[in-house]
Structure 1
Amino acid sequence: MSTTIELVEHAPATGHALPDAVGRALAASRVVDSSPDPYVPGSWRLRAGSKVGAVTVDGPGLDAPVTVRITPKVPIARLFFLLGYSLDPRGGWRDGQVDVAEHRDLLPALAHAVERQIDRALRQGLLQGYRETEESALVVRGRIRETDQIRRRFGAPLPVEVTYSEFTTDIAENRILRTAVERLLRLPGVPRDVRRRLLHHRLRLADVTPVVRGHRLPVWHPSRLNTRYQHALRLARAVLDDASPEHAPGELRIDGFLFNMNKLFEDFVTVALRESLRGTDLGCRLQDSHHLDEAAAVRMQPDFVLYEPDGRPSAVADAKYKAEKRAGYPDADLYQMLAYCTALGLPEGHLVYAKGNEPHAAHRVRNAGVVIHQHALDLDQAPAALLADVASVSRHMRTGLSV
C-alpha cells in the first residue's frame, strides 16, 4: 500500500517517517526542502516551497511508492485562472474554458480538465497531417538521401536511404495528447471515472506514438487546421512541462507534475498588464533584457517594461509571488527595482506582490529622485476583481502616482 504525504505550499516544515533513499531523492530533485530530522531517527523534515502538484517516488528497495502532494494556498479554480494566462498569452484560454469547481484537489482537477479538453479536440476525429520520415527501404519512395546511401551502403543498391512525406495521424499534435494521457494514467489519485475516460482516449490514439521519456516534445504551430486542438495542447503542456520531475539520481524514480507558483504569478501579472494596454499607442516587452553597467557585463531582465511610441522606456515592473510579512516586504526587492530604474533612466518603478497588508505603498529613494511603488494583489478575490486591480496598476504605471 502506497504512502501519501500531504503538504501545503510555503507551510512550515513537518516531520515524516521515510526511507532514507526517498528523503535523499526528494532533496536531490528539489521538489521540496528535505532534510533528516536530527532528533528523530528515520524521520525527514519536509517543507514545500512555491512548487505545487504531486509526485510519486518508486523503485527498487521500496515496499511501496511514496506520493507527495503539495496543495496551493489559492483555491484550485483560481490556480487554473492563473494557468490560463501562462498557457495562452493571446487570451483564448481562460477560467471559463475548464470546469474545475467540483474538485478540491489539484490532481483530480488537472486530470479532469485535460480529459475534457482532449475529448473536445478528438470529438470530430483525429487530426491528420504530413510528417516527413527518413528510413531504409527496399523500394524507392520519395527522395533518395544520396549522402547517407553512400556513407551507409558503400555502393550497394539496396536497401535505399529515402525521405518521404506521409499523410498520417502520427503527427506532433496527436503525439502530445497521447503522451499527456499516458502521464496522467501513471499518476495515483486520478478519479476512477476520469481514468476510465482517459483509457478511452488512449484507444482513440492507439496508432499514435507517445513521446519516449526524456525526449523533447515535438513542435507544433497554431494554425487554422488545428484550432480545435489548441486548448487541449496548451493544457497538456501543464502535464508535460520540462519542470515536471521524471527521475532522480540513483535507482529511484520520481514521476509527476509540478506548477511553479512563482512562474504562474509572474506570467499572469505580465500578460494581464500587456492586455490592459489594448487600445493605447504604448508598447511593452516581457522579460526585457538590459545591462546595468556601461560595459554591458551585468545583465538584468525586468519582468515588464513599458515603452512610449518613440521607443523610450517609460515604466518598469517586476512580479513577486510573495506575501507581505509583519516586518514588510524584503528590502532586496527594493534594491533590485532601484537598479532597474537607474539603468533605464526612470523616475518610478513598480513591484507587484501576491498579497499585502495594504494595496499600495511607495518609497522615495534619498538622493536619487526615484520612487518605488509596491502593489499588492489579492488572489483570493473573483477573477474580475483581480483583473481590475491589475488594470489599476497599469494606470498607475502610465500616469504616475503621487507620494
Structure 2
Amino acid sequence: MPAEIVLDELQGYSEPVELDREVAAALRDTGLVSVVPAQGGGWSLLPVGRVGAVQIDDLLVRVKPKEKVGLSRLLFLLGYAADPGFRPDNVIGAEDEDLFAALAESLARHAERALERGPLNGYVSVEEALRTVKGRIRVGDQMSRRPGLLLPLEVSYDDHTSDVVENQILRAAIRTMMRVPRLPEALVGRLAHVESRLEGVSALNQGAVLPAWTESRTNSHYVPALRLSEIILRSLSAESGVGHRMVASFVVNMATVFEDFVATALKEALDAYPGLTEWQYEAYLDKAEPGFRTNERVQMFVDVVHFVSGRPYMIFDAKYKAASANGAYPNADQYQMLAYCTALGVSRAWLVYAGRGETRFRRIRNTGVSVVEFPLDLSRDPESLLERVKELAQRSYTTAFPSSLPGANR
C-alpha cells in the first residue's frame, strides 16, 4: 500500500493502487474520491469535485485544487464565505504539503496567542439546585419540582467563569485536531499544552451546531483562533472508521466554496451602491398560466441579483469550472444566463469564473442581451481577490447606470 497518493481536482484517470479492503471502504466513506475496483485488480481513485486530504493509518490521500490554491488561500475563501469580517491575517501562511500538519500548526499558533493573557472569562447564566440562596430563587421551578420542600433551592445567578462559548469552541477544535493520526510529536505536545490551559471548559458535542459568539473589544485577541477553529470544526473529521482504523479527513467542495465566497464578497462590495442585493434569488422562466401549479413551472435560482428601486438591474452567476484548451467555457452557461436575463428583464449578465484570463463580452444575436465572462484568479493574494470583486461591482453598476448614479432608496 502506498504511503501517499496525490491527485489533481480535474484528473480524469489514475493508475490502480493496492489498498486493503477496509482502507478502501474508509476512504470511500470520506467522500473525497470515488473508490471502485479496477480492472485487473487494485482500486481506482478519482476526484469527485472535492479537495482536501484524508489520513488513514499510514496512508495520506490528497486532492489539490485546480487553481493550485494553497492552504492559507483555501482557509481564507472558507472563512470569508462564512463571515465577511474574515481577513488574510486570520490565517497563518503555513503552506506545508501535509495539510493536517499545516492546519495544526496554524491552530497552535493562534491558540497560543489567544491565551497569552490567560483564558477569556465572562459572565454566564447558571441554573442549579443549591442548599443556600445565590442569585434569585426560581419560584415556579421550586414549586413544580419540589412541592412542600424548602431545600434544595432552585436558583439562577450569573457566574464569572472561563466556561464561555469562545473557550468551548477553541477547546473543541484543539481536541479534534489532536485526534488526527501521525501529527508531529512536538506539535501534538503544543496542542496538548494549550488544551490543558482550558481545563474545566465544557466539551461541545461532536457534530452539534456551533454556539454563536459576537466579536467585541473583550474577545478581539481570540478572533483569529475562533475563526480558524470554526473552519476546523465544520470541515475536519477525526474518528475511528471501518475496522477501528483512525481516519482524519478535511474535505471541502470547491465549487460551493467559490460560489459562497463570490456571493458574500460581491454583496459586501455592492453595499457601496444604491439598491439591495439578494443571493439565490428565486425566479421562474415561464409565466404563471391558469391551471399551472407552482411546482409545474420552470424554476430558477440566480446566484446574485442587485435591485434598484425594486427592479433587478444586475445579475451574477459564479462558476467553478475548467476552461477548454482555447480558454472557452461550456455553452450551457451562456444559455443559462440568457434565460436569467429574459426572465428578469435584464440586459446584461455577469459570469464569474474561477481562473485566469481576460474579461470577455458576448452579445447574444437577435436580442438586447450581453453576457460578460469575468475571471477571478484564485491564486491572487486575498486583498487582490477582494479588490477584483470590488472592480466587478463597480463595472457592473456603471454599465447598468452609465450616465449617473440614481438616488434610489434601498
| TM-score category of the 2 structures, normalised to the smaller one | 0.7 to 0.9
Match of 1:61 in 2: none
What is the Cα deviation at residue 248 of structure 1? 8.8
AA matched with 1:331? N
User: Is the Cα contact below 8 Å between 1:318 and 1:351 reproduced in 2?
Assistant: yes
Structure 1 counterpart SS, 2:36 = strand
Aligned residues: 388
Within-5 A mapping of 1:250-399: 254-277=247-270, 279-294=272-287, 296-297=294-295, 299-308=299-308, 310-326=309-325, 328-355=328-355, 358-383=357-382, 385-399=384-398
In 2, Cα distance between equivalents of 1:307 and 1:301 = 15
In structure 2, list runs of 5 or more residues that go unmatched: 289-293, 401-410
AA matched with 1:317? F
AA matched with 1:39? G
TM-score relative to the length of structure 1 = 0.82
Provide closer, same or farther for how the CA distance between residues 189 and 362 of structure 1 changes in structure 2, counting only shifts above 3 A. Answer: farther
Match of 1:176 in 2: 169
Provide closer, same or farther for how the CA distance between residues 228 and 322 of structure 1 changes in structure 2, counting only shifts above 3 A. Answer: same
In 2, Cα distance between equivalents of 1:363 and 1:125 = 58
Q: Does 1:76 align with 2:71?
A: yes
User: Is the Cα contact below 8 Å between 1:378 and 1:386 reproduced in 2?
Assistant: yes
Match of 1:53 in 2: 52
Q: Does 1:202 align with 2:203?
A: no
In 2, Cα distance between equivalents of 1:117 and 1:128 = 18
User: Is the Cα contact below 8 Å between 1:71 and 1:106 reproduced in 2?
Assistant: no
CA RMSD of aligned residues (A): 3.3
What is the Cα deviation at residue 193 of structure 1? 4.2
Provide closer, same or farther for how the CA distance between residues 138 and 260 of structure 1 changes in structure 2, counting only shifts above 3 A. Answer: farther
Provide closer, same or farther for how the CA distance between residues 270 and 205 of structure 1 changes in structure 2, counting only shifts above 3 A. Answer: same
User: Is the Cα contact below 8 Å between 2:94 and 2:105 reproduced in 1?
Assistant: no
Provide closer, same or farther for how the CA distance between residues 153 and 376 of structure 1 changes in structure 2, counting only shifts above 3 A. Answer: same
What is the Cα deviation at residue 313 of structure 1? 1.8
Q: Does 1:224 align with 2:223?
A: no
Provide closer, same or farther for how the CA distance between residues 332 and 162 of structure 1 changes in structure 2, counting only shifts above 3 A. Answer: farther
In 2, Cα distance between equivalents of 1:289 and 1:238 = 29
What is the Cα deviation at residue 169 of structure 1? 0.6
User: Is the Cα contact below 8 Å between 1:80 and 1:95 reproduced in 2?
Assistant: no
AA matched with 2:69? V
User: Is the Cα contact below 8 Å between 2:51 and 2:252 reproduced in 1?
Assistant: yes
Structure 2 counterpart SS, 1:322 = coil
Match of 2:291 in 1: none
AA matched with 1:16? V
What is the Cα deviation at residue 236 of structure 1? 0.9
What is the Cα deviation at residue 183 of structure 1? 1.2
TM-score relative to the length of structure 2 = 0.80
In 2, Cα distance between equivalents of 1:224 and 1:305 = 35
Match of 1:400 in 2: 399
Provide closer, same or farther for how the CA distance between residues 369 and 221 of structure 1 changes in structure 2, counting only shifts above 3 A. Answer: same
In 1, Cα distance between equivalents of 2:198 and 2:287 = 55
User: Is the Cα contact below 8 Å between 1:84 and 1:95 reproduced in 2?
Assistant: no
Within-5 A mapping of 1:237-252: 237-241=230-234, 243-245=235-237
In 2, Cα distance between equivalents of 1:152 and 1:67 = 55
Match of 2:18 in 1: 17
In 2, Cα distance between equivalents of 1:159 and 1:65 = 55
In 1, Cα distance between equivalents of 2:238 and 2:72 = 26
Match of 2:405 in 1: none
Over the matched positions of the two proteins, sequence identity in percent amounts to: 40
